Chains A and B, each alone.
Chain A
Amino acid sequence: MTYLRPHNHVRVRRNRVMAAVAIVIALAIGLIQFSAPYVFPTFFTAIAKPFWRVRLTTQEGAFRSSAAILAENESLKMQLRDIQAGYASSTMAMIDSQYKDILSMLGRASTSPRQYILGAVLARPVAMPYDELTIDIGQNDGVSSTSLVYSAERVLIGHVRQLLANSAKIRLYSSPGEAYSVLIGPKNVPANAIGRGGGQYRAEVPHGSGVAIGDTVSDLSLYGRAFGVVVSIITDPSSPFDTVLFAPPVNIYQMRFVLVRR
Protein backbone atom coordinates (compact mmCIF):
# COMPACT_ATOMS: atom_id res chain seq x y z
CA MET A 1 0.00 0.00 0.00
CA THR A 2 1.26 3.48 -0.84
CA TYR A 3 0.87 6.41 1.54
CA LEU A 4 1.31 10.07 0.84
CA ARG A 5 3.96 11.62 3.05
CA PRO A 6 2.33 14.11 5.40
CA HIS A 7 5.20 16.65 5.13
CA ASN A 8 7.79 17.65 2.67
CA HIS A 9 10.76 16.77 4.86
CA VAL A 10 13.36 18.39 2.61
CA ARG A 11 11.54 21.68 2.71
CA VAL A 12 10.99 21.52 6.47
CA ARG A 13 14.63 20.70 7.04
CA ARG A 14 15.72 23.59 4.78
CA ASN A 15 13.46 26.01 6.66
CA ARG A 16 14.88 24.81 9.99
CA VAL A 17 18.46 25.24 8.77
CA MET A 18 17.64 28.76 7.49
CA ALA A 19 16.03 29.68 10.81
CA ALA A 20 19.04 28.32 12.73
CA VAL A 21 21.46 30.30 10.52
CA ALA A 22 19.38 33.48 10.98
CA ILE A 23 19.39 33.03 14.76
CA VAL A 24 23.16 32.44 14.83
CA ILE A 25 23.77 35.54 12.67
CA ALA A 26 21.47 37.65 14.87
CA LEU A 27 23.24 36.42 18.03
CA ALA A 28 26.66 37.13 16.52
CA ILE A 29 25.60 40.67 15.52
CA GLY A 30 24.16 41.26 18.99
CA LEU A 31 27.33 40.00 20.65
CA ILE A 32 29.56 42.23 18.49
CA GLN A 33 27.29 45.25 19.02
CA PHE A 34 27.27 44.92 22.80
CA SER A 35 30.92 43.94 23.27
CA ALA A 36 32.40 46.37 20.70
CA PRO A 37 29.74 49.05 20.08
CA TYR A 38 31.93 51.09 17.69
CA VAL A 39 32.48 48.34 15.12
CA PHE A 40 29.19 48.63 13.24
CA PRO A 41 28.87 52.44 13.48
CA THR A 42 32.39 52.85 12.06
CA PHE A 43 31.71 50.43 9.22
CA PHE A 44 28.27 51.72 8.24
CA THR A 45 29.19 55.38 8.63
CA ALA A 46 32.10 54.83 6.22
CA ILE A 47 29.63 53.37 3.71
CA ALA A 48 27.04 56.11 4.21
CA LYS A 49 29.50 59.02 4.20
CA PRO A 50 29.88 59.30 0.38
CA PHE A 51 26.08 59.49 0.03
CA TRP A 52 25.86 62.19 2.71
CA ARG A 53 28.67 64.15 1.03
CA VAL A 54 26.89 64.04 -2.31
CA ARG A 55 23.72 65.35 -0.64
CA LEU A 56 25.69 68.09 1.14
CA THR A 57 27.42 69.25 -2.05
CA THR A 58 24.10 69.20 -3.89
CA GLN A 59 22.51 71.32 -1.18
CA GLU A 60 25.42 73.74 -1.36
CA GLY A 61 24.89 74.19 -5.10
CA ALA A 62 27.97 72.34 -6.34
CA PHE A 63 26.27 71.64 -9.66
CA ARG A 64 25.78 75.29 -10.55
CA SER A 65 27.57 76.77 -13.52
CA SER A 66 31.06 78.18 -12.98
CA ALA A 67 29.87 81.61 -14.20
CA ALA A 68 27.20 81.72 -11.48
CA ILE A 69 29.72 80.68 -8.81
CA LEU A 70 32.23 83.34 -9.96
CA ALA A 71 29.52 86.00 -9.93
CA GLU A 72 28.48 85.00 -6.41
CA ASN A 73 32.11 84.98 -5.32
CA GLU A 74 32.56 88.55 -6.55
CA SER A 75 29.37 89.64 -4.84
CA LEU A 76 30.44 88.05 -1.55
CA LYS A 77 33.88 89.66 -1.76
CA MET A 78 32.24 93.07 -2.15
CA GLN A 79 29.93 92.39 0.78
CA LEU A 80 32.88 91.31 2.91
CA ARG A 81 34.79 94.50 2.07
CA ASP A 82 31.73 96.58 2.99
CA ILE A 83 31.27 94.72 6.27
CA GLN A 84 34.95 95.01 7.18
CA ALA A 85 34.90 98.73 6.43
CA GLY A 86 31.76 99.23 8.49
CA TYR A 87 32.87 97.03 11.33
CA ALA A 88 36.21 98.81 11.77
CA SER A 89 34.51 102.09 12.47
CA SER A 90 31.54 100.82 14.39
CA THR A 91 30.96 100.72 18.09
CA MET A 92 30.80 96.91 17.88
CA ALA A 93 34.55 96.81 17.28
CA MET A 94 35.10 99.01 20.31
CA ILE A 95 32.86 96.84 22.52
CA ASP A 96 34.56 93.70 21.25
CA SER A 97 37.96 95.17 21.99
CA GLN A 98 36.90 96.21 25.51
CA TYR A 99 35.44 92.75 26.12
CA LYS A 100 38.73 91.14 25.12
CA ASP A 101 40.64 93.59 27.34
CA ILE A 102 38.46 92.71 30.33
CA LEU A 103 38.95 88.98 29.73
CA SER A 104 42.69 89.57 29.41
CA MET A 105 42.82 91.57 32.68
CA LEU A 106 40.97 88.81 34.48
CA GLY A 107 43.27 86.16 33.07
CA ARG A 108 40.56 84.57 30.94
CA ALA A 109 41.72 85.67 27.50
CA SER A 110 41.82 83.08 24.78
CA THR A 111 45.42 81.97 24.34
CA SER A 112 44.94 79.56 21.49
CA PRO A 113 43.93 81.01 18.13
CA ARG A 114 42.47 77.65 17.00
CA GLN A 115 40.15 76.65 19.79
CA TYR A 116 37.39 75.57 17.46
CA ILE A 117 37.32 73.10 14.63
CA LEU A 118 34.83 73.59 11.83
CA GLY A 119 32.72 70.56 11.03
CA ALA A 120 30.14 70.05 8.31
CA VAL A 121 26.82 68.50 9.30
CA LEU A 122 26.57 65.33 7.23
CA ALA A 123 23.35 63.85 8.50
CA ARG A 124 20.56 64.36 10.92
CA PRO A 125 17.45 62.34 11.58
CA VAL A 126 14.61 63.80 9.58
CA ALA A 127 11.33 64.51 11.32
CA MET A 128 12.45 62.83 14.52
CA PRO A 129 12.27 64.26 18.04
CA TYR A 130 15.80 63.04 18.78
CA ASP A 131 18.22 65.89 18.19
CA GLU A 132 21.40 64.25 16.99
CA LEU A 133 23.78 65.20 14.21
CA THR A 134 26.60 63.44 12.40
CA ILE A 135 29.56 65.65 11.48
CA ASP A 136 32.50 65.03 9.15
CA ILE A 137 35.31 65.46 11.68
CA GLY A 138 36.42 63.03 14.35
CA GLN A 139 39.28 61.88 16.50
CA ASN A 140 41.83 62.32 13.69
CA ASP A 141 40.89 66.01 13.44
CA GLY A 142 41.37 66.74 17.13
CA VAL A 143 37.83 66.20 18.38
CA SER A 144 37.65 64.56 21.80
CA SER A 145 34.84 62.72 23.51
CA THR A 146 34.40 65.67 25.90
CA SER A 147 34.24 68.34 23.17
CA LEU A 148 31.39 70.81 23.25
CA VAL A 149 29.66 71.81 20.04
CA TYR A 150 28.58 75.31 19.04
CA SER A 151 26.64 76.66 16.11
CA ALA A 152 28.47 78.94 13.66
CA GLU A 153 27.12 81.87 15.75
CA ARG A 154 28.88 80.43 18.85
CA VAL A 155 25.67 79.25 20.47
CA LEU A 156 26.29 76.17 22.62
CA ILE A 157 24.10 73.44 21.17
CA GLY A 158 25.43 70.04 22.24
CA HIS A 159 28.26 67.68 22.97
CA VAL A 160 30.07 64.78 21.36
CA ARG A 161 28.25 61.56 22.06
CA GLN A 162 30.04 59.06 19.89
CA LEU A 163 33.53 59.66 18.55
CA LEU A 164 34.76 57.80 15.48
CA ALA A 165 38.03 58.23 13.57
CA ASN A 166 36.76 60.58 10.86
CA SER A 167 33.30 61.49 12.05
CA ALA A 168 31.41 62.11 15.26
CA LYS A 169 27.85 61.96 16.46
CA ILE A 170 26.63 64.99 18.32
CA ARG A 171 23.80 64.94 20.80
CA LEU A 172 22.14 68.30 21.11
CA TYR A 173 21.16 69.55 24.53
CA SER A 174 17.61 69.84 23.21
CA SER A 175 17.46 66.04 22.80
CA PRO A 176 14.80 64.54 25.11
CA GLY A 177 16.22 63.73 28.53
CA GLU A 178 19.34 65.89 28.17
CA ALA A 179 19.91 68.44 30.94
CA TYR A 180 22.17 71.46 31.12
CA SER A 181 22.61 74.17 33.76
CA VAL A 182 21.66 77.65 32.57
CA LEU A 183 20.95 81.14 33.86
CA ILE A 184 17.69 82.79 32.80
CA GLY A 185 16.91 86.44 32.39
CA PRO A 186 18.62 89.61 33.60
CA LYS A 187 18.50 88.34 37.20
CA ASN A 188 20.43 85.20 36.22
CA VAL A 189 17.90 82.79 37.69
CA PRO A 190 19.61 79.39 37.84
CA ALA A 191 17.74 76.50 36.25
CA ASN A 192 18.17 73.15 34.59
CA ALA A 193 17.39 73.22 30.87
CA ILE A 194 15.71 69.94 29.95
CA GLY A 195 15.60 68.96 26.26
CA ARG A 196 12.16 68.48 24.73
CA GLY A 197 13.28 67.51 21.24
CA GLY A 198 12.94 69.53 18.06
CA GLY A 199 15.39 72.16 19.34
CA GLN A 200 13.18 73.11 22.27
CA TYR A 201 13.92 73.28 25.99
CA ARG A 202 11.98 73.62 29.21
CA ALA A 203 13.10 74.68 32.65
CA GLU A 204 11.44 75.26 35.99
CA VAL A 205 12.03 78.44 37.93
CA PRO A 206 10.53 79.56 41.25
CA HIS A 207 7.21 81.38 40.88
CA GLY A 208 7.75 85.15 40.82
CA SER A 209 11.40 84.99 39.83
CA GLY A 210 10.87 87.75 37.29
CA VAL A 211 11.51 85.73 34.14
CA ALA A 212 9.66 87.17 31.14
CA ILE A 213 9.07 86.22 27.51
CA GLY A 214 12.00 87.38 25.38
CA ASP A 215 14.58 87.03 28.17
CA THR A 216 17.85 85.49 27.14
CA VAL A 217 19.06 82.20 28.57
CA SER A 218 22.82 81.90 28.96
CA ASP A 219 25.13 79.01 29.68
CA LEU A 220 27.62 79.25 32.51
CA SER A 221 30.69 79.86 30.34
CA LEU A 222 32.33 83.17 29.58
CA TYR A 223 32.60 82.71 25.85
CA GLY A 224 29.25 81.42 24.74
CA ARG A 225 26.55 83.56 23.26
CA ALA A 226 22.92 83.31 24.36
CA PHE A 227 21.90 79.69 24.94
CA GLY A 228 18.29 80.43 24.18
CA VAL A 229 15.43 82.89 24.24
CA VAL A 230 12.33 82.47 26.41
CA VAL A 231 9.29 81.95 24.18
CA SER A 232 6.62 80.99 26.70
CA ILE A 233 6.00 80.77 30.44
CA ILE A 234 3.42 78.38 31.89
CA THR A 235 2.17 79.37 35.30
CA ASP A 236 0.22 76.98 37.51
CA PRO A 237 -1.26 78.71 40.58
CA SER A 238 -1.12 75.44 42.53
CA SER A 239 2.60 74.96 41.84
CA PRO A 240 5.47 76.92 43.40
CA PHE A 241 7.32 76.71 40.07
CA ASP A 242 6.77 78.26 36.65
CA THR A 243 7.64 76.24 33.55
CA VAL A 244 9.75 78.26 31.15
CA LEU A 245 9.87 77.14 27.50
CA PHE A 246 12.73 78.39 25.42
CA ALA A 247 14.45 77.75 22.11
CA PRO A 248 17.98 78.42 20.86
CA PRO A 249 18.46 81.57 18.76
CA VAL A 250 19.57 79.41 15.82
CA ASN A 251 17.54 76.93 13.83
CA ILE A 252 19.15 73.56 14.45
CA TYR A 253 17.53 72.08 11.35
CA GLN A 254 19.18 74.58 9.03
CA MET A 255 22.73 74.29 10.32
CA ARG A 256 25.24 73.36 7.66
CA PHE A 257 28.32 73.76 9.86
CA VAL A 258 29.14 73.55 13.55
CA LEU A 259 32.14 74.56 15.65
CA VAL A 260 33.62 71.90 17.87
CA ARG A 261 35.65 73.17 20.81
CA ARG A 262 38.85 71.21 21.40
Chain B
Amino acid sequence: MKHNPSLRITLDVILFLLVIMGWWFAAIPIALIGAWVFPRYAEIVIAGFLYDILFGFGAVSGRGLLGYAFVIGGAILLAAIAYLKIVVKNNS
Protein backbone atom coordinates (compact mmCIF):
# COMPACT_ATOMS: atom_id res chain seq x y z
CA MET B 1 0.00 0.00 0.00
CA LYS B 2 2.85 2.39 0.89
CA HIS B 3 4.42 2.04 -2.55
CA ASN B 4 1.30 2.37 -4.61
CA PRO B 5 1.83 5.59 -6.59
CA SER B 6 -1.36 5.26 -8.64
CA LEU B 7 -3.48 5.12 -5.47
CA ARG B 8 -1.62 8.12 -4.08
CA ILE B 9 -2.13 10.12 -7.31
CA THR B 10 -5.84 9.21 -7.34
CA LEU B 11 -6.22 10.34 -3.74
CA ASP B 12 -4.30 13.57 -4.55
CA VAL B 13 -6.57 14.36 -7.50
CA ILE B 14 -9.67 13.82 -5.35
CA LEU B 15 -8.16 15.92 -2.55
CA PHE B 16 -7.27 18.84 -4.80
CA LEU B 17 -10.64 18.77 -6.60
CA LEU B 18 -12.41 18.92 -3.22
CA VAL B 19 -10.20 21.84 -2.17
CA ILE B 20 -10.86 23.73 -5.42
CA MET B 21 -14.60 23.26 -4.89
CA GLY B 22 -14.23 24.56 -1.33
CA TRP B 23 -15.54 21.35 0.26
CA TRP B 24 -13.06 21.35 3.14
CA PHE B 25 -15.27 19.08 5.25
CA ALA B 26 -14.88 16.33 2.63
CA ALA B 27 -11.21 17.10 1.97
CA ILE B 28 -10.13 16.65 5.61
CA PRO B 29 -11.13 12.94 5.89
CA ILE B 30 -9.43 12.22 2.54
CA ALA B 31 -6.29 14.01 3.74
CA LEU B 32 -6.36 12.05 7.01
CA ILE B 33 -6.60 8.75 5.13
CA GLY B 34 -3.72 9.80 2.86
CA ALA B 35 -1.55 10.82 5.81
CA TRP B 36 -2.21 7.51 7.55
CA VAL B 37 -1.66 5.29 4.53
CA PHE B 38 1.26 7.00 2.80
CA PRO B 39 4.61 8.15 4.17
CA ARG B 40 5.37 11.91 4.22
CA TYR B 41 1.98 12.93 2.88
CA ALA B 42 2.96 16.59 2.32
CA GLU B 43 -0.07 17.05 0.06
CA ILE B 44 -2.02 17.97 3.23
CA VAL B 45 0.06 21.12 3.67
CA ILE B 46 -0.08 21.97 -0.05
CA ALA B 47 -3.87 21.48 -0.09
CA GLY B 48 -4.18 23.71 2.99
CA PHE B 49 -2.12 26.41 1.30
CA LEU B 50 -4.28 26.12 -1.84
CA TYR B 51 -7.45 26.49 0.23
CA ASP B 52 -6.09 29.54 2.06
CA ILE B 53 -5.08 31.15 -1.25
CA LEU B 54 -8.28 30.37 -3.18
CA PHE B 55 -10.80 31.40 -0.59
CA GLY B 56 -9.27 34.68 0.43
CA PHE B 57 -7.74 33.87 3.76
CA GLY B 58 -4.23 34.74 2.54
CA ALA B 59 -2.01 37.58 3.72
CA VAL B 60 -3.98 40.25 1.87
CA SER B 61 -7.19 39.40 3.69
CA GLY B 62 -5.72 40.99 6.80
CA ARG B 63 -6.40 38.16 9.20
CA GLY B 64 -2.77 37.61 10.18
CA LEU B 65 -1.89 34.01 11.01
CA LEU B 66 -5.59 33.13 11.02
CA GLY B 67 -5.37 33.77 7.27
CA TYR B 68 -3.25 30.63 7.06
CA ALA B 69 -5.45 28.47 9.26
CA PHE B 70 -5.61 25.60 6.78
CA VAL B 71 -1.89 25.43 5.96
CA ILE B 72 -1.01 25.53 9.69
CA GLY B 73 -3.75 23.01 10.46
CA GLY B 74 -2.45 20.75 7.69
CA ALA B 75 1.09 20.84 9.08
CA ILE B 76 -0.18 20.06 12.60
CA LEU B 77 -2.29 17.16 11.29
CA LEU B 78 0.68 15.77 9.36
CA ALA B 79 2.93 15.94 12.42
CA ALA B 80 0.24 14.45 14.69
CA ILE B 81 -0.40 11.51 12.38
CA ALA B 82 3.33 10.87 11.91
CA TYR B 83 3.71 10.75 15.72
CA LEU B 84 0.68 8.49 16.03
CA LYS B 85 2.09 6.10 13.42
CA ILE B 86 5.36 5.85 15.36
CA VAL B 87 3.47 5.16 18.60
CA VAL B 88 1.34 2.47 16.97
CA LYS B 89 4.38 0.90 15.29
CA ASN B 90 6.33 0.76 18.58
CA ASN B 91 3.40 -0.75 20.47
CA SER B 92 2.58 -3.40 17.91
Q: Which residues of A contact B (CB under 8 A)?
A: 18, 22, 29, 33-34, 37-38, 40-41, 44-45, 47-48, 51-52, 55, 123-128, 130, 132, 134, 161-162, 169, 171
- Residues of B28-83 at the interface with A, using a CB-CB cut-off of 8 Å, are 40, 42, 49-50, 53-61
CB distance from A67 to the nearest CB of B (A): 31
Q: Which of B40, B53, B57 contacts A40 (CB 8 A)?
A: B53
B49 near A130 (CB under 8 angstroms)? no
Q: Assess A162 versus B50: contact at CB under 8 Å? Given A51-B20, A126-B23.
A: no
Distance to closest chain A CB from B30 (angstroms)? 15
Across the A-B interface, the 3 shortest Cβ-Cβ residue pairs: A132-B56, A169-B56, A37-B60
Asked if A123 meets B22 with Cβ closer than 8 Å, knowing A40-B53, A44-B50, A44-B53, the reply is: yes
Residues of B within 8 A of A48 (CB): 20, 54
Which residues of the other chain, A, contact B54 by a CB distance below 8 angstroms?
Answer: 41, 44-45, 48, 123, 134
CB <8 Å contact, A125 and B58: no
A-B contact pairs, 13 of them (CB 8 A): A22-B42, A37-B58, A37-B60, A48-B54, A51-B20, A123-B21, A124-B22, A125-B24, A125-B55, A127-B24, A130-B55, A134-B56, A171-B61
Q: Is residue B84 contacting chain A, with contact meaning CB distance below 8 A?
A: no
Additional pairs, 16, CB under 8 Å, beyond known A29-B49, A51-B21, A130-B57: A34-B59, A40-B53, A40-B58, A41-B53, A44-B54, A45-B54, A52-B20, A127-B25, A128-B55, A132-B56, A132-B61, A134-B55, A134-B56, A161-B60, A162-B56, A171-B61
Give the contacting residue for A38; candidates B22, B24, B56, B60; CB below 8 A.
B60
- B42 near A125 with CB under 8 A, answer no
* Residues of B bordering A, CB below 8 Å: 17, 20-25, 40, 42, 49-50, 53-61
Q: Contact at B60–A51, with CB atoms within 8 Å? A: no
Q: Say whether A37 contacts B55, CB under 8 Å.
A: no
Cα of A29 to Cα of B46 in the assembled complex, Å: 11
CA of A29 to CA of B25, assembled, Å: 26
A residues in contact with B60, CB < 8 Å: 37-38, 41, 161-162
**Chain B: CB-nearest residue to A15:** B40
Nearest B-chain residue to A26, judged by Cβ: B45
Nearest CB of B to A52, in Å: 8
Residues of B within 8 Å of A130, CB to CB, are 55-57
- Contact among A18, A40, A127, A161 for B56, CB-based, below 8 A: A161
